[in-house]
Structure 1
Amino acid sequence: MPLPAIPPRVKIPPIPAATLPSQPGRWLWTCRAGFEPHLFEELEWAGASPRMLGEVLVESEKRPPEPPVFARTGIRVQASLPAEQSPEQLAESIAARVAETVPAGLLVLQAFTPDSPAGNRMADEADALLEAVRARLPADRLLEETWRAREAGATLVELCVAPGVVLVGSVPAREALSLSPGGRQRMRRSGDSPSRAAMKLEEALVNLPFEPGRGEVCVDLGAAPGGWTQRLVARGARVIAVDPAKLMPELARQPRVEHIQESAFAYSPEEPADWLFCDMAWRPLEVAQLLAKWGRRGWASHLVANIKLPMKDKNPILVRVRHILTQEGGWQGLTMRQLYHDRDEVTVTAHKAI
């Protein structure tokens, strides 16, 4: 099958030294610091007319059909206010704009700062502004249980408190990339976790409509030392951990863990699994081909994988990874996102037709 054509590379503009105001009606996207050029190129390839606003902030004229891989969250801007106003004036203006643009229904009101050194220093200001705006909105409209936002049909309203400007935006919770402020889905690392890898898995599962259940069979490729296997076992799953290296002793003794000490590329399951998990520090196209083989042969029903990114040409590589997984592997419902706990990597989820 021929490889997909890679769009022409995009000339990336410099990141403004001071955060620029946004334009109401446009979309505001956040990303990991240092990944603004990759997000900008994605949006340009999608014909969304992006513009750099500042560190970790990129806006676009429209929302692309596919969620940007490098976006943590995206909101439609309702107002762009200068930060020079007093806190009381800002809170009054924001409350009025929210009442005007979201006239009915439940709200989840959140505030965040850009995830950058300058932005993080403004966390106290953001918290104070959030409380001031909350006090000016009807209490019966504010949904406290954020996790219920999608099922309740609520609107996610976010205040982005950046150096020099406060941006106000909203998105229906059912369409939101994340329900965490600014898309920063912080997961707690348990004391017995062997690595930070477990937090990546937890965040990936939070964003799925369902997760591995008790008794389901999960194959964990590249399992050692066992961060993902540990979290899957805690959910009651039975795990086939594939890795030449050793697992943590407590996992190796776990009756619901079967350790296959061989290469993930050589392993073939004796029967189809419910879930395929993979988090290997390996070349992205080779990992994609491996995952495509599992999809093509019907060896698993659901996929959660972490794809490591090269230093250069991240977006072209991801175009090819997407093609390999969907066109060659037959995986459906593919999502590809750089989550909060991802670094130079992205998390992929997909499923096979039932």
Structure 2
Amino acid sequence: MPEDTLPAQPGRWLWTCRAGFEPHLFEELAWAGASPRMLGEVLVESEKRPTEPPVFARTGIRVLASFPTDQTPEQLAEAIAARTAEAAPAGSLVLQAFLPDSPAGNRLADEADALLEAVRARLPADRLLEETWRAREASATLVELCVAPGVVMVGSVPAREALSLAPGGRQRMRRSGDSPSRAAMKLEEALVSLPFEPGRGEVCVDLGAAPGGWTQRLVARGARVIAVDPAKLMPELARQPRVEHVQESAFSYAPEEPADWLFCDMAWRPLEVAQLLAKWGRRGWATHLVANIKLPIKDKNPILVRVRHILTQDGGWQGLTMRQLYHDRDEVTVTAHRGL
């Protein structure tokens, strides 16, 4: 790891990840032949964007320029605005700033906010799209300023190709006061990335449901939930008329009829969970899949290669995505579907 953050090279790709996972992101990019280079804490550069989005990347942007922070704020804002206007001469822009998610990076929050406002003031107001959630449908360009110790890196990506529309991929979800666990935030973040989510009356199976974090959020959306877990749900959730609690192992449970959605957030060995999810896909027991796969201490990437193979080749799941989201810790979130 470099002692000081290195500037990214124009034309290459800048990726950010969870602290401590830089080696795993670097390894992914190396396996993809993308010639990675470590820039600093949570920041990795690559020569190209891999065909498969990196699992451990929160966001990725094609670098427009890097600027040292020894300039005055006005000079820096002028240079960034000019480079942004050159690289994206037409169409709507979503302009954001993010910090490396590290102690040194997070201390720069005030500087990042001030720089973002200064750059915004130097760009045509009619080109700046305020509603970030509309960026994909508006075919906007996402421009991000990475404000790191000693350097500001500017990059862009078409919003439709962006891994996340949140600054730096840090999609913070709010935990509700009655939530039985922080797991609910992981589900909320996973659903944000999907084009649709469970609707009123749809049948969801939640494997390993207790104490009920995911089940609670699904019921709040109007879904009917079959919660499978030998352990108890929190009492107020167990009394819900749209919740059926099946007190048996997720590995032995078989549904009486196919479900619309399969959810799974079990703290279990990754290959065994993958084989369980593959069984559901192979037998056509669910149409959509959202699951968290816990990571081993070592050999994370080799295990994930095997998990991908099990789900797609053995289970027949299609459109598979695999990402370590902001609220994930030692795990990754998988989404997929069948027969759409």
| TM-score bucket (shorter structure) | over 0.9
Q: Provide the secondary structure at the position in 2 that maps to 1:71.
A: coil
Q: Which segments of 5 or more consecutive residues in structure 2 lack a partner in the other structure?
A: none
Give the distance between the partners of 1:257 and 1:225, measured in 2 at CA.
Answer: 13
Give the distance between the partners of 1:249 and 1:315, measured in 2 at CA.
Answer: 39
Residues 1:50 and 2:36 aligned together? yes
Give the distance between the partners of 1:84 and 1:182, measured in 2 at CA.
Answer: 23
TM-superposed deviation, 1:177? 0.2
Could you tell me the TM-score, scaled by structure 2's length?
Answer: 1.00
Q: Provide the secondary structure at the position in 2 that maps to 1:160.
A: strand
Q: Which segments of 5 or more consecutive residues in structure 1 lack a partner in the other structure?
A: 1-14
Give the distance between the partners of 1:29 and 1:112, measured in 2 at CA.
Answer: 12
TM-superposed deviation, 1:353? 1.7
Question: In the TM superposition, what whole-angstrom CA distance separates every residue of 1:230-275 from its partner, at most 9, and x where no partner exists?
Answer: 0000000000000000001111000000000000000000000000
Question: In the TM superposition, what whole-angstrom CA distance separates every residue of 1:132-174 from its partner, at most 9, and x where no partner exists?
Answer: 0000001100111000100111110000000010000000000
Q: Provide the secondary structure at the position in 1 that maps to 2:129.
A: coil
Q: Provide the secondary structure at the position in 1 that maps to 2:335.
A: strand
Q: What is the aligned partner in structure 1 of residue 236 from structure 2?
A: 250
* Percent identical residues: 91
Give the distance between the partners of 2:297 and 2:334, measured in 1 at CA.
Answer: 19
Give the distance between the partners of 1:336 and 1:95, measured in 2 at CA.
Answer: 34
Question: In the TM superposition, what whole-angstrom CA distance separates every residue of 1:264-318 from its partner, at most 9, and x where no partner exists?
Answer: 0000000000000000000000000000000000000000000000110000000
Question: In the TM superposition, what whole-angstrom CA distance separates every residue of 1:11-35 from its partner, at most 9, and x where no partner exists?
Answer: xxxx111000111000000000000
Question: In the TM superposition, what whole-angstrom CA distance separates every residue of 1:55-98 from its partner, at most 9, and x where no partner exists?
Answer: 00000000000000000000000001111111000000000000
The Cα RMSD (Å) is: 0.4
Q: What is the aligned partner in structure 2 of residue 149 from structure 1?
A: 135
Match of 2:21 among 35, 47, 50: 35
TM-superposed deviation, 1:116? 0.1
How many residues end up aligned between the 2 structures?
A: 340
Give the distance between the partners of 1:255 and 1:172, measured in 2 at CA.
Answer: 44
Residues 1:193 and 2:179 aligned together? yes
Give the distance between the partners of 2:104 and 2:236, measured in 1 at CA.
Answer: 43
Question: In the TM superposition, what whole-angstrom CA distance separates every residue of 1:106-146 from its partner, at most 9, and x where no partner exists?
Answer: 00000011000000000110000000000000110011100
Q: What is the aligned partner in structure 1 of residue 295 from structure 2?
A: 309
Residues 1:353 and 2:330 aligned together? no
TM-superposed deviation, 1:44? 0.3
Question: In the TM superposition, what whole-angstrom CA distance separates every residue of 1:309-343 from its partner, at most 9, and x where no partner exists?
Answer: 01100000000000000000000000000000000
Give the distance between the partners of 1:283 and 1:53, measured in 2 at CA.
Answer: 33
Q: Provide the secondary structure at the position in 1 that maps to 2:191.
A: helix
Q: Provide the secondary structure at the position in 2 that maps to 1:80.
A: strand
Give the distance between the partners of 1:212 and 1:313, measured in 2 at CA.
Answer: 34
Give the distance between the partners of 1:348 and 1:78, measured in 2 at CA.
Answer: 31
Give the distance between the partners of 1:49 and 1:111, measured in 2 at CA.
Answer: 26
Could you tell me the TM-score, scaled by structure 1's length?
Answer: 0.96
Question: In the TM superposition, what whole-angstrom CA distance separates every residue of 1:178-232 from its partner, at most 9, and x where no partner exists?
Answer: 0000000000000000111000000000000000010000000000000000000
Give the distance between the partners of 2:243 and 2:137, measured in 1 at CA.
Answer: 35
Q: Provide the secondary structure at the position in 1 that maps to 2:14.
A: strand
Give the distance between the partners of 1:86 and 1:182, measured in 2 at CA.
Answer: 24
Q: Provide the secondary structure at the position in 1 that maps to 2:277.
A: helix
Q: What is the aligned partner in structure 2 of residue 122 from structure 1?
A: 108
Give the distance between the partners of 1:273 and 1:194, measured in 2 at CA.
Answer: 24
